[in-house]
Structure 1
Amino acid sequence: MYIAERGPVSRNILRQFGRHSAALSVFAILSITSLGMGTPAAAQSYSFSTVKVEGNERVDAATILSYAGIGQGQTVSAGELNDAFQRISAAGLFESVQITPQGGTLVIAVKEFPTISVINFEGNRRLKDEMLAGIIKSQSRRVFSPAQAEADAAEITKAYQEGGRFAVTVDPRIIRRSGNRVDLVFDIKEGKVVEVERLSFVGNRAFSDRRLRQVLATKQAGLFRSIIQSDTFIADRIEFDKQLLRDFYAARGYADFQVLDAVGEVTRERDGFFVTFNVREGQSFKVGRVSTISEIPEIDAAEFEAVQKLRSGVTYTPTVIENNITRMENLALRKGLNFVKFEPRITRNPRGLTLDVEFVISKGDRVFVERIDIEGNTTTLDSVIRREFRAAEGDPFNPREVRRAAERIRALGFFKDAKVDAEQGSAPDQVIVNVDVEEQPTGSLSFGVTYGADSGVGLNAAFQETNFLGRGQTIGLSLGTGTDNKTAAFNFSEPAFLGRDLNFSVFAGYTETDNANAFYNTRDANIGFGIGFPVGENSTLQLNYKLSESRISDVGPNSSVILHAEEAVGGQFSSSIGYAFAYDTRTTGLDPNGGILLRFSQDFAGLGGDLQFINTNALALAERRVLNDDLTLRAVFEGGMLNTSKNNSRVTERFFLNSKIRGFESNGIGPRDLNAVNQDALGGNMYAVARFDAEFPIGLPDEYNIKGGVFADVGTVWSLDNVNGGPVGGPIGAVDDSANLRASIGVSLFWDTPIGPLRFNIARAIKKESYDKERKFDLTISSSF
């Protein structure tokens, strides 16, 4: 509805336009008919020697006559005159149209729509003027259209509703100005955010409501309801939640799972929604008998069966089937076999709750990829999207590969939505693959205050862009300063180096520490580069080079002579090459309830520089969710060894178990010079640690995002090259660098907050040395391996 309330020309524009158009249409017909009342024959046709256009300013007369379609001397009927009136009105250029026969002259009188002078938005606080201007299609210095203004109001309303503001109202108004101009004003009443007050489920038996809520993208309103966006009700997000539920159950063997319905009911106060998902779980199936047959005589089924990793007894999931088909397809490509189809045939065994899987190798249709069309990417280059396809124009068409390419495109994180489908090409054996993406912001600039039990209060600033210049590259820069340290870091990575599946990265960093738990300071600066690539379905290999300079300074007068000797050396350069191998099945393995992570790395220093050493690190992690995913069990085994061959190791290269064994301060354990007054932690050339964690709900409402946990840690750090310690000027004494075990137990509180996942630890050391420094309470940012 158009309502103008300012100035003497205020009136209801929309209603006037509507009444005026209808009245003029009737008037035109009545006028035409009345001219023919004298003689019935005359009422059937008219002929005008002159057609005259009046009232037009911007639209020339020839254009209006072309809409009318009536020429001089042309014989027309009353119905044709009415058709001319309708055509001129439908052009959308005129506020009013009047056709009047005057003897041999036909007068077409028009009143043009006004021109928009300016467009303003009033009442908007959540969405800025710049964003709203990009949504609407009405523009300044263009002709005002009531229909377009109404459509623009609807688009603004939709934008607010996507943010959970369903009570929004948007009224377009016009303010008349001189010279047939108007100001267009969108009067916005935003209303309040409509939150999801409760998420509930009907029909779920295997998994609790609490566990299923963790799966959904929609969240219940909680403590931070004023700043969390995921607890606002968005209708489109419900469809996404349905798919998340299907994927969750499918990954756990529930082949018959269905989301029967999802209903959002508004509260009586209309300030919230109750969302209920009605589901049918069915039964969880495991894989029964696995076999492979070939319907193509020249293809040996046993050869393709050998590359499979599907075994009886594992949980049946579509992902497992797809992974095995991918292995067989890759083997077919290596053997030069095109247009071969691998189809899984599933046989149910309801009594044993197993599914027999028979892979059938057969001939596929001879269809080729004609071209790949990409739309919607205004920033991201076509090549970034195109490289996620394993096929190019002219290659055989594989529908399964198209689906996987769509998943890879979505996984880039550059797009809010990505749709990939195929349609018939220019010939029956040609297919066009269409990619339609909707981009989203990929950069961030942040400023913040940090706190750490070891580093104290600090300030930091960080810039991160994951789609730099639309090339899919990542670039980051961070600066930080705290009570005890200063840091700076830069990183850049190219995920498709030389057009191949190679991740090339460049990094540089600077760290300066003023340790509160040690009577010495350190400085480290480094720069390097690396190349990473996959070597298997779940494994990657990273090769790297690093050049670094480090030094020790400000060693206290009562510190060990070992530290004074290391300070006297001054700055030392190291030039090293290394590799890191990782094998991770936590997200891509056969078991959806858990997985393992294995990491092994070595760095070899001695390619120039002052230092020669081999630094070896290894980590093994096993994780599993039990009791319907409510309890997460985790075990981590970690160790490292530093072998030097030229100089003695220094504290800048040695290992410290900071944060690896909870219950102790930073630099709180490890070899020490017991004859020195300060007894600084010296670190060690070797370490070994085992950590065990359990994480579980503690009964608080899900929207609080708080869980509990228990842990137990055991480990040690030991071995020094130089054990001739003692204070400066004092007697030389032995350093305790033995492999003395330390152990601790404790409880944790996990809190997933908008500023990050926090972890509170209360720990007790149950095995320690007399000189160790304990810390019973710790607050950290929870991180994953």
Structure 2
Amino acid sequence: MSADGRNGFKIGRNLKGGFRFALFTVLTVICGLLFTQAEAQNYSFSRVSVEGNELIEPATIVKIAGIAQGETVSDAALNDAVQRLIGSGLFASADIVTSGGTLVIRVRENPVVNIVNFEGNRRLKDEDLAGVVKSQARRVYSAAQAEADAAAITQAYADAGRLAARVEPRIIDRGNNRVDLVFEIREGKVTEIERLSFTGNRAYSDRRLRQVLGTKQAGLLRTIIQRDTYVADRIEFDKQMLTDFYRARGYIDFQVLSVTREFSRERDGFFLTFAVREGLSYKFGKITTVSEYEGVDAAPYDAVVRIRPGATYSPLAIDTTISRMEKIALDQGLNFVNIVPRVTRNERDQTLDIVFALTKGPRVFVERIDIEGNATTLDKVIRRQFKTVEGDPFNPREIREGAERTRALGFFETAEVNSRQGTAGDQVIVDVNVEEKPTGSLSFGASYSVSNGVGFNIGLSEANFLGRGQYVSLNLAAGTDNKNSSITFVEPAFLDRDLKFRFSAYYNTTENDNSDYSTKRIGGSPSIEFPMGEFSSLELSYKVSQDEIYDVDANSSQLLKNEEARGAELTSSLGYRYAYDTRIGGLDPNRSVRFEFGQDFAGVGGDIQSVKSTALASYQMKAFREEVTLRAEIEGGALFTSGGDSRLVDRFTGNGKIRGFEPNGIGPRDLTATNEDAVGGNYFAVARLEAEFPLGLPEEYGISGGLFADFGSVWGLDNTLGIIDDGMHLRSSIGFSIFWDTALGPLRFNFSKALDKQSYDKEQNFDLTVSTRF
């Protein structure tokens, strides 16, 4: 590089250095001036003046501003004071200025809300929305609170399945610094579940799994059914329902991997897809019981195990077995026995070996049970759902079962049960928090059947009478040819024990109800029911009634005329009824058994001496991957009298027992009478077979089909007058049914054909039953 070039470079570098120095000097001077000016704006004041306020006291405004009189403040402090005033929500605007030694606070107050109103709402009532918003009349209006209230209303509509709802808060100036707050609501359409589908399911079809969920697809009655609306909180419940369904069928590794929600293009529906992983279904393998509790023999505990190797695994079977074993420990006077189920998985043969180990648990006692939230229900109604009382050993499983029993009462919206540490290390406090709900109902209903025509009824019931857990109901019903009225009272814990006391009374009349005579029956019955076993119960009862047959047509059977001549007669009887039912609480969700047997012994006073026996046995199972329900029933009865002939009001008529025949359409009949009256029989026996299956229609329509076959007979009289055929003649019928589960009530259409019959029997090839409640 030349000398001239180097000199030029040096001169340029010196010029740049000089420029930087000059710029630094200027910035330093400016900052110094600003700092000096800021220092100059710090000042103190001797008086505070508030302007523009109408309702709020000046002292309150000064306190909110947070500036003390005589305090030295800066612009930054004044700005913070303004922000505090605005942030209080009391003022639409605020400003602070200085005037000599006076600090002037100028405010414009927010108006006072005159009324809070809702416009455009039809699905949610004003009182429901008023409980959602926090803005209230006679309080200062806050724009921020109004926006928050609008969001809360929008969420309330979303919970009701209307995700498209829009809410706008508006104010109407009413003068004198008062406004009306109006929430303008556009409810939009219900956001329905257009489709429920599943991925990963192989063992069960989409149709079967949709039956498990609480959420339903939109169907024909979408304007009535509310379970087809999208509710986000219900998804978690559905996931748990699916899990319980699979676990009860041996799929111990089942998982709901995800739930995909897709909004429809019209934004009025959701497409929900549950991605599941089923895993393998396991069965029970070897079941053993061992004792690790010194001095405790395992044999009595092993004797109560009802689990069969090879049966499908079920968590309910494990819990039930543990309950039985804990009862054995209680009977032996042993405390703190802990039954631990140890599971060994056998992957090769897909079985689970279970070892019930009797161990000694920690010494923990229940200090007390605290119950909150029950304004109406008495504490003792809730306490008796827990077998554990204060001072008993703490049993977490029993506490959980008590919580389930409390929820099952149906008295509460929610019932949460939790345990916490007591006053000592070996003490536990059980907290029961409930939220009550209405338990009374007034219902109006209508019914229809081909044989009885149209009927109407009204019912008044209270499931938690006076908060005592008692049930009271009054029902009145009237049909074309009959009138029925009844009153029922039930005490579920009679004498604070596991005894159910029931009293019922009735007054029923029929006027030529598919017959040529009328009847009048009035009576009452107290009874006591108590458990005999896990699924069985025994009911003891006393019945008293006065019955008569009257208005017998002149062309009717002489047998009926003779009974009319007897007039009203009193029946006084003692009876019992044994019931065994696994439909609720049974270990196998796909099979259930029901058996009932009862007898009434009349002659404890009164005019009638007889023994009446009835029995019923039924079996139900689900087959073909639970798509088809199979049912089989046998039913029978026998009436034996002494000291006179049986009466029509006591005999069996077969009504409703065999499909394909009219009421009073089968059994002994007096063919010599012009009316050819059916007179009933002392005996009856019926067998019914039925299969219910899908018809291929979307399950949300609630329509399914069925096939049935009935066999049976009614026979036997004490007095045939020498002309009535009372022999046991077999009747049979087959048919097809359509079941329609509607929101208005269950409908059943029966199309039947009698196969075996007598020439005098009266057929009924079609029957429709409708029952609705409002």
Please, what TM-score do these two structures have when normalized by structure 1? 0.89
Counterpart of 2:688 (choices 688, 691, 702) is 691
**1:451-470 paired onto structure 2 within 5 Å:** 451-470=448-467
Name the amino acid aligned to 1:104. G
In 2, Cα distance between equivalents of 1:379 and 1:545? 33
In 2, Cα distance between equivalents of 1:645 and 1:653? 13
The Cα shift of 1:441 comes to 4.5
Counterpart of 2:765?
776
3-state SS of the aligned residue for 2:131? helix
Counterpart of 1:158?
155
In 2, Cα distance between equivalents of 1:780 and 1:99? 79
**Does the 8 Å CA contact 1:560/1:680 hold for their aligned counterparts?**
yes
The Cα shift of 1:622 comes to 0.8
425 and 119 in structure 1: CA distance in 2 versus 1, 3 angstrom threshold:
same
Counterpart of 2:738?
749
304 and 645 in structure 1: CA distance in 2 versus 1, 3 angstrom threshold:
same
Q: For structure 1, which segment, 704-713 or 399-408, has the greater mean C-alpha deviation from structure 2 after superposition?
A: 399-408
- Unpaired runs of 5+ in structure 2? 1-32
Name the amino acid aligned to 1:747. F
Counterpart of 2:17?
none
3-state SS of the aligned residue for 1:579? strand
563 and 84 in structure 1: CA distance in 2 versus 1, 3 angstrom threshold:
same
Counterpart of 1:628?
625
The Cα shift of 1:282 comes to 1.0
**Does the 8 Å CA contact 1:616/1:642 hold for their aligned counterparts?**
yes
State the percentage of identical aligned residues: 60
Counterpart of 2:749?
760
In 1, Cα distance between equivalents of 2:38 and 2:245? 79
67 and 453 in structure 1: CA distance in 2 versus 1, 3 angstrom threshold:
same
In 1, Cα distance between equivalents of 2:47 and 2:330? 77
Rg larger for: 2
Counterpart of 1:530?
527
In 2, Cα distance between equivalents of 1:402 and 1:657? 48
In 1, Cα distance between equivalents of 2:36 and 2:646? 118
1:211 aligns with 2:200: no
**Does the 8 Å CA contact 2:681/2:714 hold for their aligned counterparts?**
yes
Cα deviations across residues 295-340 of structure 1 (Å, max 9, x unaligned)? 2112212222222222212211111100111111122222222222
3-state SS of the aligned residue for 1:135? coil
The Cα shift of 1:692 comes to 0.9
3-state SS of the aligned residue for 2:656? coil
Cα deviations across residues 669-698 of structure 1 (Å, max 9, x unaligned)? 111223222221111122111111111112
In 2, Cα distance between equivalents of 1:759 and 1:358? 48
Name the amino acid aligned to 1:406. A
The Cα shift of 1:660 comes to 0.7
Q: For structure 1, which segment, 44-53 or 519-528, has the greater mean C-alpha deviation from structure 2 after superposition?
A: 44-53
The Cα shift of 1:361 comes to 1.6
118 and 682 in structure 1: CA distance in 2 versus 1, 3 angstrom threshold:
same
The Cα shift of 1:617 comes to 1.2
Name the amino acid aligned to 2:597. F
Counterpart of 1:701?
698
Name the amino acid aligned to 2:702. N
The Cα shift of 1:737 comes to 1.5
Counterpart of 2:338?
341
1:262 aligns with 2:259: yes
Name the amino acid aligned to 1:398. N
652 and 417 in structure 1: CA distance in 2 versus 1, 3 angstrom threshold:
same
Name the amino acid aligned to 2:362. D
Q: For structure 1, which segment, 617-626 or 512-521, has the greater mean C-alpha deviation from structure 2 after superposition?
A: 512-521
Counterpart of 1:295?
292
In 1, Cα distance between equivalents of 2:136 and 2:423? 40
The Cα shift of 1:42 comes to 5.4
The Cα shift of 1:626 comes to 1.1
Cα deviations across residues 735-766 of structure 1 (Å, max 9, x unaligned)? 21222221111121111111222221111111
In 2, Cα distance between equivalents of 1:157 and 1:394? 49
Name the amino acid aligned to 2:457. N
The Cα shift of 1:664 comes to 0.6
The Cα shift of 1:519 comes to 0.9
Name the amino acid aligned to 1:424. Q
The Cα shift of 1:37 comes to 8.2
Counterpart of 1:175?
172
Name the amino acid aligned to 1:551. E
365 and 111 in structure 1: CA distance in 2 versus 1, 3 angstrom threshold:
farther
Name the amino acid aligned to 1:334. D
Q: For structure 1, which segment, 742-751 or 423-432, has the greater mean C-alpha deviation from structure 2 after superposition?
A: 423-432
Name the amino acid aligned to 2:637. G
Aligned residue-pair number: 740
> What is the Cα-based RMSD across aligned positions, in Å?
2.4
In 2, Cα distance between equivalents of 1:686 and 1:52? 102
1:421 aligns with 2:410: no
In 2, Cα distance between equivalents of 1:758 and 1:353? 43
Q: For structure 1, which segment, 458-467 or 46-55, has the greater mean C-alpha deviation from structure 2 after superposition?
A: 46-55
1:60 aligns with 2:49: no
**Does the 8 Å CA contact 1:220/1:231 hold for their aligned counterparts?**
yes
Cα deviations across residues 75-104 of structure 1 (Å, max 9, x unaligned)? 556555555444444443333333334333
Counterpart of 1:94?
91
The Cα shift of 1:203 comes to 0.8
In 1, Cα distance between equivalents of 2:263 and 2:372? 37
Counterpart of 2:301?
304
Counterpart of 1:710?
707
**1:172-251 paired onto structure 2 within 5 Å:** 172-251=169-248
**Does the 8 Å CA contact 1:43/1:78 hold for their aligned counterparts?**
no
Name the amino acid aligned to 2:700. E
In 2, Cα distance between equivalents of 1:474 and 1:553? 35
Counterpart of 1:388?
385
In 1, Cα distance between equivalents of 2:427 and 2:37? 65
3-state SS of the aligned residue for 2:664? coil
The Cα shift of 1:490 comes to 2.0
Counterpart of 1:147?
144
Name the amino acid aligned to 1:630. E
1:591 aligns with 2:588: yes
In 2, Cα distance between equivalents of 1:379 and 1:188? 36
In 2, Cα distance between equivalents of 1:608 and 1:698? 55
